[in-house]
């Protein structure tokens, strides 16, 4: 992997340079963290930086393959002097392959690409294969938090989780998926959705 900033890169997660696929040593990356969270597709990094600031005892890994988003996040990390973030500037699935089993206490998937055309639905991140990969790296009781402003994507995620043995939807009432999570800082994608009249959905799935 190219190290854009050595102190916040995730070593060993680029399959082209790590053919043995050795698990990442998360204890070495986050020596004093009480838990480790992952954000898949962090965009410009607003949410990732906000979570790291609010939770200094948590180690956060952010995945984003768009270089502009990575650059914005790196600038914010340097500006705020955050030492509890590591960046993987590649596909999240490569990272999941080298993440130890039951290592994560929370995973965020915020406003993922909806791939609206039916023939592209197989590209949506919430899929049986990716839920299998997440189930392996999330410990029992860990949360997968999904935010989307696309109703069809919300239905897609709910159906995929419903058919997966390791995940269950935690909502008990409408407010549970209509109300942002505690401490939610919002994202620029959410702000755009609200401006354009779309309603965000906040889904929480628990790892069995």
Distances (CA, A) of 23 to 17, 36, 94, 104, 180: 13, 15, 11, 13, 34
Among 91, 113, 129, 166, which one carries the catalytic annotation?
113
Cβ burial, residue 183 (10 Å; 0-12/13-18/19+) = exposed
Distances (CA, A) of 69 to 62, 116, 165, 181: 11, 22, 34, 23
Tell me if residue 94 is catalytic. no
Q: Among 173, 172, 158, which residue's Cα sits nearest to residue 205? A: 158
Q: Say how far apart CA 52 and CA 161 lie, in whole Å.
A: 27
Q: Where are the alpha helices (DSSP H) in the chain?
A: 26-29, 46-54, 67-80, 92-97, 128-137, 151-162, 175-178, 188-195
Whether 131 contacts 94, CB under 8 Å: no
In this structure, what token pair is assigned to residue 105?
Answer: 């206490």
Active-site residues: which are they?
113
């Amino acid at each position: 992997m190219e190290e854009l900033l050595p102190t916040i890169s995730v070593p060993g997660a680029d399959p082209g340079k790590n053919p043995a696929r050795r698990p990442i040593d998360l204890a070495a990356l986050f020596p004093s963290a009480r838990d480790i969270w992952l954000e898949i597709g962090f965009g410009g990094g607003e949410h990732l930086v906000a979570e790291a600031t609010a939770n200094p005892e948590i180690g956060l890994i952010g995945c984003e393959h768009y270089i502009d988003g990575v650059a914005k996040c790196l600038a914010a990390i340097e500006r705020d002097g955050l030492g509890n973030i590591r960046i993987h500037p590649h596909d999240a699935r490569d990272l999941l392959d080298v993440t130890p089993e039951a290592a994560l206490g929370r995973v965020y998937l915020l406003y993922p690409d909806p791939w609206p055309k039916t023939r592209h639905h197989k590209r949506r991140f919430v899929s049986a294969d990716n839920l299998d990969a997440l189930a392996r790296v999330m410990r029992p009781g860990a949360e997968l938090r999904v935010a989307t402003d696309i109703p069809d994507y919300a239905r897609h995620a709910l159906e995929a989780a419903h058919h997966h043995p390791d995940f269950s939807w935690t909502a008990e009432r409408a407010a549970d998926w209509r109300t942002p999570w505690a401490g939610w800082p919002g994202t620029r994608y959410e702000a755009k959705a609200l401006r354009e009249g779309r309603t965000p959905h906040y889904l929480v799935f628990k790892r069995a």
